[in-house]
């Protein structure tokens, strides 16, 4: 394989899709979908792919890359041949479903063309029956594609095109070995298209090994964030984040909203808090079964649910339009996630809002995001309780006025006022009580409080926060990492009842699967900037480094490439993670599993 032969900065060089030489059937479908002008990645990517070259597309979510590879794929399919002719790999089942549906919409007028999405959580028997009937395009996740390969129910001998969508995400989730196995099983004369938000070393390694003279097409840097998106941050005490979020929802009248969190547990907590406050909200994360996910998304798209709370991994497959805004409840652990998140709003020329709730210990992450996106995120002022009451009063008056004008049977209810008068209430009392009941705004513990954190003065102790309840442990004496506990180095209250050298490497142990090193020579301390964690699973549990990386990256939403040394012993494992992410990993993995086996995870002694 050879080096990249050409680098193209994606710019709009074609005014219409007709200029790209696309067939009439696809043009008709594009018109019905509301697309009239190709995006930069489509304008440069479609011609490059259609001429048969291997292509690397460096583009973020929301840039239109599905059509950039989907249209050329459809152009090359021979519907008279029932064999699989194109394979698209996606990191998550949500994205696999989204991609297959979008390609299906593009193929609306291509009679006889069949597309199948294959992913975990769906019946493999149903998928096998569909594949046996004949499928032209398969869109799937690496794990399920490998399952079908091993069962010999998915054959690649006639595949002409191979697409890796969100390749960097797949690598971060630990799918590198699966991807390389799938690529190695493909015909050598196939065309390979790879889309990735970043050009990391692992990505470049795959391109050098499996792509022939690829063309690199890049979305230019200043298109990372949409100019139509209003980006504002609010400095918030951790325990007040839900209160501030609901105030923003009310103040800006957000009727269709995505809320992003860093952990699955936080998603569930926020959904519960919002529902208790009367907001129509649902959550989506990796623990939901496929049917549950489908139900949640159906309600959100239908407007029954107005607020969708999600983790970054689960949100990869969310395909919704017309969002009023996005709220970053937690600041993402990776700058690219921020771009993915806010790209969900402000699409197709529409305006959007992206609000970030920043706790004190998240401030440095926001600065990193600003440096990455080259955009200054303005600091906002948290709406006061009086502001929200005023906004709700105004909307109440508007709705009542509209009801009076439009109501044709108001006479049926006129006697209600007279009945209440007879009960001894004045008109003012009646209207006030009705307004309060309908508006639903009530004072709480935050109504008269300052919800923003203030800059520390010299010698002032930092405010605690960041635990699973958003900082609520502050009033209870700090988090479990700050109080005397089993996590203290050399402490006697170790739940495993071991001495401080309980987990010292054995002199006669075998070589580690994590790094191929002799465990007896393992460093006693992690590298600078890293924290060493203990996992209660080891070789006897048949876990591999990729399983650990996939679990931690997927659950804690941190890039897999940031995870350091992994030393797997017979009954336990040590793994190094960045200090700044250690608490997030502990929270995310608490009570979780790896390869279906429950795992306990602590700071290593």
Residues contacting 472, CB < 8 A, separation 6+: 238, 239
Clarify whether residues 170 and 55 are in a common domain. yes
Burial letters for 298-330: b for 16+ Cβ neighbours within 10 Å, e otherwise?
A: eebbeeebbbbbbbbbbbbbbebeebbbbbbbb
- pLDDT, residue 471, reads 37
pLDDT at 108 over 80: yes
What would the pLDDT profile of 65-104 be if each residue is shown by its tens digit? 889 999 999 999 999 999 999 999 998 887 888 899 889 9
Task: Look at residue 307 and tell me if it is in a domain.
Answer: yes
Residue 80 Cα distances to 77, 83, 115, 189, 447, angstroms: 9, 9, 14, 21, 67
Task: Look at residue 584 and tell me if it is in a domain.
Answer: yes
Clarify whether residues 265 and 186 are in a common domain. no
CA angle 51/56/60 to nearest 5° reads 120
pLDDT at 284 over 80: yes
Task: Look at residue 254 and tell me if it is in a domain.
Answer: yes
What would the pLDDT profile of 119-131 be if each residue is shown by its tens digit? 987 889 999 999 9
- pLDDT, residue 435, reads 75
pLDDT at 532 over 60: yes
- Report the percent of the chain where pLDDT is more than 90: 29
- pLDDT, residue 448, reads 65
pLDDT at 513 over 60: no
Query: 151-155, 358-362, 478-482: which has the minimum mean pLDDT?
Result: 478-482
Written as six digits, the tokens of 262 are 């860093």
What would the pLDDT profile of 425-448 be if each residue is shown by its tens digit? 888 888 887 777 776 666 666 666
Q: Identify the residue with better confidence: 482 or 131.
A: 131
Q: Identify the residue with better confidence: 458 or 177.
A: 177
Q: Total structural domains in the chain? A: 4
Query: 290-304, 395-409, 540-554: which has the minimum mean pLDDT?
Result: 395-409
pLDDT at 52 over 70: yes
Task: Look at residue 409 and tell me if it is in a domain.
Answer: no
What would the pLDDT profile of 4-43 be if each residue is shown by its tens digit? 666 666 555 666 888 888 999 999 998 888 777 888 888 8
Clarify whether residues 201 and 349 are in a common domain. no
Task: Look at residue 452 and tell me if it is in a domain.
Answer: no
Task: Look at residue 455 and tell me if it is in a domain.
Answer: no
pLDDT, averaged across the chain: 79
**Which of these three, 223, 256, 290, is where a domain ends?**
223
531 strand-pairing partners: 577
Clarify whether residues 60 and 93 are in a common domain. yes
pLDDT at 567 over 80: yes
Clarify whether residues 57 and 178 are in a common domain. yes
Pairing of strands 530-535, 601-603: antiparallel
Q: Identify the residue with better confidence: 340 or 524.
A: 340
What would the pLDDT profile of 286-301 be if each residue is shown by its tens digit? 777 778 888 888 888 8
What CATH number has the domain bearing residue 553? 3.30.70.330
Whole-structure pTM value:
0.51
Q: Identify the residue with better confidence: 139 or 570.
A: 139
Clarify whether residues 35 and 163 are in a common domain. yes
pLDDT at 499 over 50: no
Average pLDDT over residues 522-543: 82
CA angle 260/263/265 to nearest 5° reads 110
Pairing of strands 55-58, 191-196: parallel
pLDDT band at 190 (very low <50, low <70, confident <90, very high): very high
Task: Look at residue 47 and tell me if it is in a domain.
Answer: yes
Beta strands in 170-306 (DSSP E): 191-196, 215-219, 229-235, 257-261, 281-284
Average pLDDT over residues 55-65: 76
Clarify whether residues 211 and 241 are in a common domain. no
What would the pLDDT profile of 549-561 be if each residue is shown by its tens digit? 888 887 887 888 8
Clarify whether residues 392 and 373 are in a common domain. no
Clarify whether residues 192 and 296 are in a common domain. no
Range of the domain at 579: 487-603
40 strand-pairing partners: none
Clarify whether residues 148 and 297 are in a common domain. no
Which helix (H) or strand (E) covers residue 92, if one does? Answer: none
Report yes or no: 162 and 145 within 8 Å, Cβ to Cβ: no
Report yes or no: 529 and 578 within 8 Å, Cβ to Cβ: yes
**Which of these three, 187, 206, 223, is where a domain ends?**
223
pLDDT at 570 over 50: yes
What CATH number has the domain bearing residue 295? 3.40.50.300
What would the pLDDT profile of 240-268 be if each residue is shown by its tens digit? 999 999 999 988 889 899 999 988 889 99
Per-position DSSP letters for 154-206, written without gaps between them: S--TT--EEEETTHHHHHHTT-HHHHHHHHHTS-TT-EEEEEES---HHHHHH
Clarify whether residues 501 and 555 are in a common domain. yes
- pLDDT, residue 387, reads 85
Clarify whether residues 334 and 301 are in a common domain. yes
- pLDDT, residue 573, reads 93
Average pLDDT over residues 464-476: 36
Question: How far apart, in whole angstroms, are the C-alpha atoms of residue 224 and residue 231?
Answer: 13
**Which of these three, 223, 239, 272, is where a domain ends?**
223
pLDDT band at 490 (very low <50, low <70, confident <90, very high): very low
Task: Look at residue 392 and tell me if it is in a domain.
Answer: yes
Residue 127 Cα distances to 120, 124, 183, angstroms: 11, 5, 21
pLDDT band at 507 (very low <50, low <70, confident <90, very high): very low
- pLDDT, residue 433, reads 79
pLDDT at 109 over 50: yes
- pLDDT, residue 8, reads 64
Question: How far apart, in whole angstroms, are the C-alpha atoms of residue 46 and residue 26?
Answer: 13
């Amino acid at each position: 394989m050879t080096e990249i032969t050409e680098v193209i900065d994606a710019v709009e060089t074609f005014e219409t899709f007709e200029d790209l030489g696309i067939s009439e059937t696809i043009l008709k479908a594009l018109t019905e979908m509301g697309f009239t002008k190709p995006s930069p990645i489509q304008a440069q990517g479609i011609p490059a792919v259609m001429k048969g070259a291997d292509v690397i597309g460096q583009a973020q979510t929301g840039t239109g890359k599905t059509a950039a590879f989907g249209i050329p794929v459809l152009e090359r399919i021979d519907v008279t041949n029932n064999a699989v002719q194109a394979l698209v790999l996606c990191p998550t089942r949500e994205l696999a479903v989204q991609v297959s549906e979008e390609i299906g919409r593009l193929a609306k007028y291509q009679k006889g063309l069949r597309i199948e999405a294959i992913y975990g959580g769906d019946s493999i028997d149903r998928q096998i029956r569909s594949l046996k009937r004949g499928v032209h395009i398969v869109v799937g996740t690496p794990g399920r594609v490998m399952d079908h390969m091993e069962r010999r129910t998915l054959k690649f001998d006639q595949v002409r095109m191979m697409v890796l969508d969100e390749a960097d995400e797949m690598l971060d989730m630990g799918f590198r070995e699966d991807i390389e196995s799938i690529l190695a099983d493909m015909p050598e004369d196939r065309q390979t298209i790879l889309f990735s938000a970043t050009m990391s070393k692992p990505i470049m390694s795959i391109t050098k090994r499996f792509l022939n003279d690829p063309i690199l097409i890049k979305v230019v840097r200043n298109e990372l964030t949409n100019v139509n998106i209003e980006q504002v941050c609010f400095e918030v005490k951790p325990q007040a984040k839900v209160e501030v979020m609901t105030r923003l929802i009310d103040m800006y009248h957000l009727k269709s909203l995505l809320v992003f969190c860093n952990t699955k547990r936080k998603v569930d907590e926020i959904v519960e808090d919002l529902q208790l406050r009367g907001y129509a909200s649902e959550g989506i994360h990796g623990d939901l079964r496929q049917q549950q996910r489908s139900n949640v998304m159906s309600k959100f798209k239908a407007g029954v649910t107005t607020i969708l709370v999600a983790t970054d991994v689960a949100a990869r497959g969310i395909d919704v339009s017309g969002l009023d805004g996005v709220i970053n409840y937690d600041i993402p652990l990776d700058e690219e996630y921020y771009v993915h998140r806010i790209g969900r709003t402000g699409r197709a020329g529409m305006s959007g809002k992206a609000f970030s709730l920043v706790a004190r210990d998240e401030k440095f992450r926001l600065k990193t995001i600003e440096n990455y996106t080259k955009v200054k995120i303005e600091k906002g002022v948290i709406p006061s309780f009086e502001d929200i009451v005023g906004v709700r009063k105004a909307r109440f008056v508007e709705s009542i006025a509209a009801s009076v004008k439009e109501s044709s049977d108001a006479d049926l209810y006129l006697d209600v006022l007279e009945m209440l008068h007879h009960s001894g209430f004045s008109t003012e009392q009646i209207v006030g009580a009705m307004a309060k009941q309908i508006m639903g705004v009530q004072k709480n513990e935050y109504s008269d409080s300052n919800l923003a954190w203030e800059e520390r003065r010299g010698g002032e102790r930092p405010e605690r926060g960041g635990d699973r309840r958003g900082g609520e442990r502050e009033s209870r004496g700090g988090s479990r990492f700050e109080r005397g506990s089993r996590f203290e180095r050399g402490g006697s209250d170790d739940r495993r009842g071991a001495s401080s050298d309980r987990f010292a490497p054995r002199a006669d142990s075998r070589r580690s699967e994590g790094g191929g090193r002799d465990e007896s020579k393992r460093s006693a301390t992690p590298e600078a900037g890293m924290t060493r964690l203990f996992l209660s699973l080891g070789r006897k549990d048949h876990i591999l480094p990729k399983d650990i990386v996939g679990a931690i990256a997927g659950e804690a939403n941190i890039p897999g490439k940031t995870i350091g040394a992994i030393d797997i012993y017979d009954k336990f494992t040590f793994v190094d993670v960045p200090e700044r992410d250690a608490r997030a990993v502990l929270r995310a993995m608490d009570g979780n599993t790896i390869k279906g086996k429950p795992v306990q995870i602590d700071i290593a002694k």
